[in-house]
Amino acid sequence: MRQVQEFFGKLFDSSDWPPRWHCGRWTDFHGWLYIISDLLIWSAYFTIPFVILKYISKKQDVKFIRIYFLFAAFILACGSTHLLDAVSFWLPAYRFNALMRAITGILSWITVFYLVKFLPVAFSLKSQKELETEVTQREKAEEKINLLNAKLEQRILERTNELFELNTEQKRVIQEMEVLSMVAKETSNSVIIFDKSTRHASWVNEGFTRHTGYTEHDMHGKNPVSILEGAETDKHVLDMISGQIEKNLPYSCDLLIYTKSGETKWQFVSGQPIREHNGTVAKYFVIATDISERKRMEEERLATKIEGQKEVTRIVLETREIERNVLGRELHDNINQILASINLKLGYYLEEPENNIDVVKNCCEDLRHAIQETRNLSHDMVMPRFSERSLKEELKLLIENYSYKKVIQLELTGIDERDISSTIKETLFRIAQEQLSNIAKHANAGMIEMRLSNDTHLVTMVIHDNGVGFDVQQKRKGIGITNILSRVEPYNGTAEIMSMPGKGCTLFVTIPLAA
């Protein structure tokens, strides 16, 4: 107990040990290598928890959040031990170092405990592919159910029509109810029969009670619409159903209903008129299938699609803004300056025309330069007319803007433009234009290769340079790369970039062609 008290009493006292520099035969190289290595490990360990916390703060409904915080605490504690090891070369606080190692050990085993506890749960979660497979299976199951319902409805209609041929009304009603009762027991869907004139329910099956919570006693003599409708029920759909009933016609539709507990459910409702022996309609037979899960998945797919469209729109707007900025800079910094220079020179000439004809000649040269710059800018900003020129010709004109600086090899022997639509040609031209611009600005490349080929089903473009390259993972979400991806996505195409620092860059683009 005395040792424990002494330990915590001298927790930060370093006088009992010499600094680590004086323990053993440390050389400067060996010692600083040890110190710098510990500091690098410490800095990395202290950065990882902040990355984890930043990820957690941006993502809602994070699963296994306790594991994240335990892992962050464990990493921080480990980093602290490395920091204290580096500090001990000057301040040998070994008691505090030992305490931090003990804390690290405890946190390590707590983390191990929770990893062992939660990892099986994490690995048991379904993957995206498994969820998509489950959705597909459910859709197929719904199709089978709908097919069975259609067959069931046909069977009901056939049996109902047979009832019209019975000799007495009493026998017809008895046999009809027997059939309907048999059908209702065989199906798990909701079944309800109501009177056409009063719209009051006369009978519901057990499936109706399971789905809505309302029993036959709750529904008898009441209007099903007034009980099942709610604030979000589509009134236009209810008006359509009422109109069909008034005309003695069948109906089918998707309808949002409210259960007895207040829960909302989507139902596919199909109603068929039940005719008397004289052909008049007295009742309606309604079958409802629960499609809430299908509706939920449709809404999720729609939300995902909308988010994707928003992202594409954002990229398009950013690209347009960049193009406007480029146009403005080119006009202001280049062409405007040339014209301003011409204005000054002509002003001087008008004041001093004697022996200054060279000033006019110089102005002519500047004007030709401004005209050429305007043409170059127009060529970059305006989409070529592929109805007048071929894609090959436009690509050759495009690389002329860069060939005076770099060696560009253009291979077009495998291209047949008759199979390529004008919109895809425009997309390929813009991608080539943007990639060449990126190479000119960033790659510092001396050689560029561009290959274009196609068959009747697919067109392929490959652009390779021998420039400085870059880390694809770090720049995967850059505007340039995202813009290229957004151009091919509307055609179900793909764009892949392969690059490494110092190894150049290769862009692969493929776009399917319409059969």
The rounded distance, in Å, linking the Cα atoms of 160 and 180 is: 9
The rounded distance, in Å, linking the Cα atoms of 110 and 491 is: 51
Q: Report the DSSP pairing between strands 407-414 and 281-290.
A: unpaired
Between CA 322 and CA 329, with CA 324 as vertex, the angle to 5 degrees is 95
Torsions phi, psi for 390 (to 5 deg): -85, 165
Q: What is the pTM of this model?
A: 0.36
Residue 270, Cβ neighbours under 10 Å: how many? 20
What is the pLDDT at residue 205?
84
Torsion, Cα of 178, 179, 183, 189 (10° steps): -80
pLDDT tens for the chain, residues 1 to 515: 778 777 777 777 777 778 878 787 888 888 888 888 888 888 888 888 888 777 777 766 666 667 777 777 878 888 888 887 888 888 887 788 888 888 888 888 887 777 777 777 666 666 667 777 877 888 888 888 888 888 887 887 787 676 655 555 555 555 555 665 565 555 678 888 899 888 898 888 888 888 888 988 888 888 988 888 888 899 999 999 999 999 999 999 999 999 988 899 899 999 989 887 777 888 898 888 888 888 888 888 888 778 767 766 666 666 666 666 656 655 555 666 667 667 766 776 677 777 777 777 777 877 776 776 676 666 555 555 565 678 888 888 888 766 655 688 889 888 888 888 888 888 898 888 888 888 888 888 888 999 999 998 999 999 999 999 888 877 655 666 777 888 888 888 999 999 989 889 999 999 998 75
Query: What would the DSSP string read from start to end of 23-54?
Result: TTT--HHHHHHHHHHHHHHHHHHHHHHHHHHH
The rounded distance, in Å, linking the Cα atoms of 409 and 428 is: 17
The rounded distance, in Å, linking the Cα atoms of 152 and 6 is: 87
The rounded distance, in Å, linking the Cα atoms of 206 and 190 is: 8
What is the pLDDT at residue 62?
62
Residues 6 or more apart in contact with residue 178 via CB below 8 angstroms: none
What is the pLDDT at residue 46?
83
Residue 201, token pair as written in the block = 């329910």
Sign of the dihedral through C-alpha 357, 359, 362, 363? negative
Bridge-partner residues for 482, per DSSP?
Answer: none
Encoded amino acid at 292, one letter: S
Helical segments of 125-188, H only: 128-163, 169-186
Bridge-partner residues for 190, per DSSP?
Answer: 288
Residues 6 or more apart in contact with residue 502 via CB below 8 angstroms: 468, 469
